Each structure stands twice: as C-alpha cells, then as structure tokens.
Chain A
Amino acid sequence: MREATIRDALREALREEMRRDNTVFLLGEDIGRYWGGAFGVTKGLAEEFGDERVRDTPISENAVIGVGVGAAITGMRPVAEIMFGDLTALAIDQICNQAAKVRYMFGGQASAPLVIRTPFGAGVNIASHHSQSLEAWFMHTPGLHVAVPSTPYDAKGLLKTAIRGSNPVLFVEHKLLYPVKGLVPDEDYTVPFGVADVKREGKDVTIVATLYMVHKALAAAEQLSKEGVSAEVVDPRTLSPLDRKAIVKSVRKTGRIVIVSEDCKTAGVSAEIASVVAEEALDYLDAPIKRVAEPDTPIPFSPPLEKFVIPDEKSIIKAVKELIH
C-alpha cells in the first residue's frame, strides 16, 4: 500500500487498463497533451499512448458520447470524459436513449461497454452550470451503472471494474475529491459494483453518504463520538446497482438513519435510499428517516450562498441529534 490522491488513482487505473487492453481508449475535450483534462486526470497519458488513443475532441458532448457508443458496440472500450457533470445534459440522448438502451432495445444482441467519467459537485464557486450533482438522473435510467467513489482505493478499483465490464457506466468524480489522499494497493485489484463499504462502524445511527459527503459524514461521526453518539457511515460506492442489503443491515443494527446527499432533495439520491429503508427496513426504525440534501435550488455562486445549500458536518450532526434526542 502507498498513499495516492484520487486524481492519481484514477490516472493509474486508466494507464494500467490501457496497457493491459489495446481496445481501451480515451476521448474528451482537452484531455490530451496540453491540458491533460480540466482536472489533470489524464495528464501524461497522451505522451505514453499517443494522440490516437488519448483523443482530444471538439466541444460536441452529444457526438462525443455517440462516438463512444458506436465504438463500444464494435469492439472497443472507450472512456469518455465530460469536462463538467452539468454538461452531461448536452449528451443526455446519447447517454440515456442510446448507450443505456442498446442492449435492451436490440434484444441482448449487443452491449455498450462505454465509461463516461465526469466531475459533479459544488464547493469551488463556479455557480449553476459547473457545480451540480445529477446522479439521480442516471440512477433513474435502466441500463446504466452509476459509480460514486469517495476514496482513492474505491476510485481506482471501481474505474477498473467499469472499464472491464460490459455495460455503460456513468462514473462520477467529485471535483473537491481529486486532491484527497488515501492508501492504494501496489498490485492490481478491482472493487465490485453493488457492494457498499462501511467506512466507519457504529451502533446508534446509520449515516449513508456518497462522494464528498462521505468525508463530511466521517467528520460528523468523529465529532458525535466525542459526545457519546456512535455513528455508522455507509458508503454505497455505486448508486446503480445499489447495495440495498447493506443499507438495510446497518439500519437493522442502529434503528436510525440519516441520508446525506449533495444533490437536490426532491426525487434525488436521498429519496431513493429513503424509499429502500421505508420498503425494506421500516420495522427496524426507532425514529423517522432523516435526509440532509441540497434544498432544491440551482447551485448559487457567492460563497456564503453556496455554503448554505450544500450539506456539511453541522447539518449532519444536527440531523443525527434530532433523531437521538
């Protein structure tokens, strides 16, 4: 094991998979020699693999994903980068109507092993077109997988699983997480889809969180422990497939749940997880389900406004205390 940032872990996954399999190639805006991706994830890869396999594209998001679909159904394993998650809106037809449906609509004749990497999330004051968390759109699309890593270990292992799999994957990166460090094995490994990870064990309350919110939940749990409350932090790691059993198992143990998500509250990630608990674990609950999520606004620009709408340690601690006392 050694320490690496999520940015480095993602790059290692891409590099190792490209070395292992000639059909893996990258495409996206400014991912090549000059920028190496807007967040630097693909830096150095064009130098190693050439411009054919690390392919800069014009600003044509819908066509970039469409090209990925066409390449994926003809034997390639494209990894497309959409520079900001908000811009997936430009490619929603190719993601949701084409990539996700190729297998089903054509009766299982084909599949589209296409990975779409994109950063979601707020926190760097770039306002409504560069800060959203849109995971729920893609969880709502049968045929797609949605990966939401929170640590370097998970990021590398999940990205490898995504590239090696046969299904299209919306691979979410959180822009505040790129520099976050963690331990990554030296040897080859993968992290399976649909298997949650308990990031911290506890017995009084379950906190389910993804992406950057895992770190906020862990900080909240640490603070709560000093006040005698033992919180368990469950990170689903993929939202589709969703590890319902792990969530139910934790609720069964703690009897309380706070769901933390950076996306909008209405019909969002937290709503889906709450419905899982309501359907499958209601009898284990000692208190109502609590959700801490974005209050159904676009993401504002000015720092105090943005800070106000994004869940943080304080809002998580407050929600937990409302359940316990």
Chain B
Amino acid sequence: MVIMVENAKLLEMYRQMLTIRFFEEKVFELYGQNLVPGTIHLYAGEEAVAVGVCANLRRDDYITSTHRGHGHCIAKGARLDKTMAEILGRKTGYCKGKGGSMHIADFSIGMFGATAVVGAGIPIAVGAGLSIKLRGTDQVVACFFGEGASNQGTFHEGINLAAVWGLPVVFVCENNLYAMGTRQSRVMIIENIADRAVAYGIPGVVVDGNDVLAVHDAARVAVDRARRGEGPTLIECKTYRLKGHSRFDPAAYRPKEEVESWLKKDAIGRFQMKLFELGVLSEVEVQKMVQDVKNAVDEATKFALESSFPEPQEALEDVYAAEEISTSK
C-alpha cells in the first residue's frame, strides 16, 4: 500500500532529514574541537525512521527516546538551539545542562526525554498510553528503541501490557544491526525483531528503515490503528548508523563491504532521488534547502556556544518539586 502524501509534507520530511544529518555532522565537528562534554551517540544514517514516524504524529502526541535521540527530538519538533545548548552543557539547554546528549526532553511537544538505560523507555511509553486511555483522549505514543533493547525484560513486559490493555502505543524498533559492537546474529537466533510481536498477539511489520516513505506508510497504519483504540503495533525498521556507537568507537567490527552497501542505501540520497522523480524537488531547490538548513544549524550552534554554563550551585536545584520540600532537607 502506498499512502499519498502532499508535496509540502514530502518537502518538510526531506528538510527534517537534512536537518538531522547536518545537525549531527555539526555535533561531530564540535566534539572534535572538545566542545562537547562526555559522549555522544549520533543518529546520522537513521533519519528516515524518526522522520517517517513523526510525520504521522500531532504536536500533542507523545514519543519516548533513547541514548541515540537527537533525531527523535528534531523530528518531533524540538528547537535546534535548545537541543544544541543541552548537548554542550549550557544553561539555556532544554534540561538546563542537567541531562546532556542522552537526556534531551521537551515536554511541551510531548517529547518525554531520552532514557539512556536501554529499554527503560518502553514501559514509560506504555504508561503514557494507559494515561491516554484513562483520560479518554485520542493521543498516540511512539516508542523508539533499538534492536538491542528488544532483549530487555522491559520490551517483553511493556509490549505485553500494551497489548492486553489495548493501548495506543506504536513500538518502533530501529534495528541498526549492532548493540554497541555486538552483531544481532551473535545474540539472537531470529532475524526479524518484528516476529516477537506474535508472542504478544499484536501486528508486527518489517520495513526498510532507510526508505522514509516505507516507514511513513507503516507508521500511518499503526498510528491510525492506535488512534482508533485498536491497540499497539510493533514496527521494525532495518537501518544502519553512519558512525560508530559512541564518541570513541571507530566501528571496526563492521565489515567494509557491509558499510559500503549500506552507504549506497543512504536514506537521504534515496529520498532525494524519489522527489526528483516525482518532480517535487529540483537540484536548485536542494542547494537552497541545504543552505537554509546549514544556516539554521549554524545559528543554533552560535546560540549554544554563546550561552553560559550553569552556575555550579544550580546542581542542587530540581531534585524535588518545590511544594514538598520540608524545612529539614
């Protein structure tokens, strides 16, 4: 099934994918300059997943994210400047410098924060789904996680609960083949994570995670189903990260031929070709959009670099909601 998408929407999806790619390239560049404290997990290469899924979500829908979460934030509509500022540990960041790259959140757009414990976001997404059901709204939750998380108890416990309670949650597995350096085939006998849906009596679908329209269409079916109150779906998106797992990982465990074959399947190049074919986009427009996106990323970077670090004593704030802090603690 091919779902018709308006031209403006297609271009917006393309712009978002470019934004994520250039944003991540900038983050990579900044940490090369020692401007990013700690570590980073780049989303570059997996843009089609976040963008294809989030294209089906409303502002009041929810998402949960992972340690590799910059792409989810941008696709859900988070601001680049506050995202970059958080990655750089600045006071103006989304979490005032308390979370960093692995914990960016924007509750105003239903982005519940990246959880850096692998798989821990899954039951939280299910809880948000339960909350939707109890409050009687028609919101939907998209829950992003990797194939590595599907070996955690939270995956099985969480999907079972969402299934038995018929909750509006779309489980999106970003299968990039490697859990850090461990290839999927070394730790799982199955090839498709989506097969695990059978165990919980829900639909499980496999899509080409580097084809944004394929992701979009699968997510549309799942989101519509969830919004109608018909329960959860597990979508497995086969994809690949361009870089290693984290900051210092050269990803030597990935065979050269494998990397090259995936580079040929790069989601942005493929989508661009598709848009050319459809006559929606021209070379000239690409150049202009690339420049626009680069400018936006540069502006966000400038904002972040010009922002101050938090005052050290701010470390003591936000541990508890203020109303309950007693005089003695």
Contact = CB atoms under 8 A, between A and B. Distances in A.
B95 to A, nearest CB: 3
A142 B328 CA distance: 15
A103 B318 contact: yes
Contacts of B117: 93, 97-98
B1 interface: no
Nearest to B155: A63
Contacts of A68: 127
A-B CB proximity, top 3 nearest: A70-B127, A66-B123, A194-B326
Interface string B154-177: 100110110010000000000000
Interface of A: 23, 25, 52-53, 57-58, 60, 62-76, 78, 93-94, 97-98, 102-111, 142-143, 145, 161, 165-167, 192-195, 240-246
A60 B157 contact: yes
B311 interface: no
Contact of A70 (B124, B160, B320): B124
Interface of B: 62, 64, 93-99, 103, 105-107, 112-113, 115, 117, 120, 122-132, 134-135, 153-154, 157-158, 160-161, 164, 317-321, 323-329
B328 A241 contact: yes
B120 A63 contact: no
A285 B57 CA distance: 64
Contacts of A69: 123-124, 127
B328 A62 contact: no
A25 B157 contact: no
Contacts of A94: 120, 123-124
B83 to A, nearest CB: 13
B131 A106 contact: no
B208 to A, nearest CB: 30
A241 B98 contact: no
A109 B160 contact: no
A302 to B, nearest CB: 33
B324 A167 contact: yes
Given A67-B123, A98-B124, A108 B96 contact: yes
B98 A63 contact: no
Contact of B130 (A67, A192, A244, A245): A67
B65 to A, nearest CB: 12
B323 A70 contact: no
B329 A165 contact: no
A107 B317 CA distance: 9
A194 B161 contact: no
B105 A110 contact: yes
Given A107-B99, A193-B326, 20 more contacts: A53-B134, A60-B157, A62-B123, A63-B154, A66-B127, A66-B157, A70-B64, A70-B128, A70-B130, A71-B131, A72-B127, A97-B117, A102-B113, A107-B96, A108-B96, A108-B317, A194-B329, A241-B326, A241-B329, A243-B328
Nearest to A78: B127
Given A58-B160, A62-B123, A105-B103, A71 B134 contact: yes
Contacts of B112: 70, 73, 110
A164 to B, nearest CB: 9
A67 B134 contact: no
A74 B125 CA distance: 10
Contact of B99 (A76, A78, A105, A142): A105
Contacts of A73: 107, 112, 124, 127-128
Given A93-B120, A105-B113, A63 B161 contact: yes
27 contacts: A58-B160, A58-B161, A58-B164, A60-B157, A63-B126, A67-B127, A68-B127, A70-B124, A71-B128, A73-B128, A74-B127, A75-B131, A75-B135, A98-B124, A103-B319, A106-B103, A106-B113, A107-B94, A107-B96, A109-B94, A143-B320, A145-B320, A166-B321, A167-B324, A194-B328, A244-B328, A246-B328
A242 B103 contact: no
Contact of B157 (A62, A74, A98, A245): A62
Contact of B105 (A58, A72, A109, A111): A109
Nearest to A60: B157
B124 A66 contact: yes
Given A70-B125, A71-B128, A94-B123, A103 B134 contact: no
A75 to B, nearest CB: 6
Contacts of A192: 326
A106 B127 contact: no
Nearest to B125: A70
Contacts of A245: 327-328
Contacts of A67: 123-124, 126-127, 130, 158, 161
Given A67-B161, A74-B132, A107 B123 contact: no
B164 to A, nearest CB: 7
Residue picked from B103, B126, B129, B321, most chain A C-beta under 10 Å? B321
Contact of B324 (A63, A72, A165): A165
Contact of B319 (A23, A142, A242): A142
A78 B120 CA distance: 18
Contacts of B95: 105-107, 109
A110 B107 contact: yes
A314 B106 CA distance: 56
A193 B324 contact: yes
A27 to B, nearest CB: 8
Contact of A165 (B93, B130, B157, B323): B323
Contact of A106 (B62, B107, B161, B327): B107
Nearest to B321: A166
A314 B76 CA distance: 63
A52 B128 contact: no
B115 to A, nearest CB: 7
